[in-house]
């Protein structure tokens, strides 16, 4: 995993490799990816990156000057403060997820993503034993 670019201002995403990358077996016909498919992928990717069940991810797809904007509403897991391995702060995780989500999403769908917004809507408390 390479270092994530500064998530503050996302750099212009690079185009995914053109489908013509495999010229030998190019055959006629269109490929279309339905919106349903894009949002399912977005939920899967966000769940994977943030470590939450994909069913907890809400996603809204929007147009961002011709590329795609993802708005993810997610709850984030939190461990009790006394846990042996505390998680990174919520803010940090949400911020860092944006670039990774975009990278994975573009790899899977070939779709230009111009913007990823993450809205933390709740906390999934990892209920461990409370320190006595």
- Site for other proteins, rule CB under 8 A: 16, 19, 22, 25, 27-34, 36-37, 40-41, 43-44, 47, 53-56, 58, 107-110
Closer to other proteins by Cβ: residue 8 or 23: 23
Query: What's the closest the beta carbon of residue 47 comes to other proteins, in angstroms?
Result: 7
Query: What's the closest the beta carbon of residue 53 comes to other proteins, in angstroms?
Result: 5
Closer to other proteins by Cβ: residue 37 or 88: 37
Query: What's the closest the beta carbon of residue 60 comes to other proteins, in angstroms?
Result: 12
Closer to other proteins by Cβ: residue 31 or 85: 31
Contact at 8 Å (CB) between 21 and 116? no
Could you tell me how many residues make up the chain? 132
Closer to other proteins by Cβ: residue 23 or 131: 23
Helix/strand/coil (H/E/C) assignment for every residue in 38-73: HHHHHHHHHHHHHCCCHHHCEEEEEEECCEEEEEEE
Query: What's the closest the beta carbon of residue 71 comes to other proteins, in angstroms?
Result: 15
Task: Pull the structure tokens for residue 66.
Answer: 């011709």
Which is nearest to 77 in space by CA: 126, 130, 118, 117?
Answer: 126
Cβ neighbours around 132 below 10 Å, total: 3
């Amino acid at each position: 995993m390479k270092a994530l670019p500064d998530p503050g201002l996302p750099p212009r995403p690079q185009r995914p490799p053109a489908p013509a990358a495999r010229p030998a077996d190019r055959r006629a016909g269109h490929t279309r990816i339905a919106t349903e498919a894009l949002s399912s992928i977005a939920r899967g990717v966000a769940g994977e990156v943030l470590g939450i069940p994909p069913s907890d991810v809400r996603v809204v797809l929007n147009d961002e000057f011709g590329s795609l904007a993802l708005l993810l509403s997610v709850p984030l897991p939190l461990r009790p403060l006394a846990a042996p391995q505390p998680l990174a702060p919520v803010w940090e995780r949400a911020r860092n997820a944006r670039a990774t989500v975009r990278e994975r999403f573009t790899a899977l769908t070939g779709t230009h993503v111009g913007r990823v917004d993450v809205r933390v809507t709740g906390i999934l408390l990892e209920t461990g034993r409370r320190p006595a």
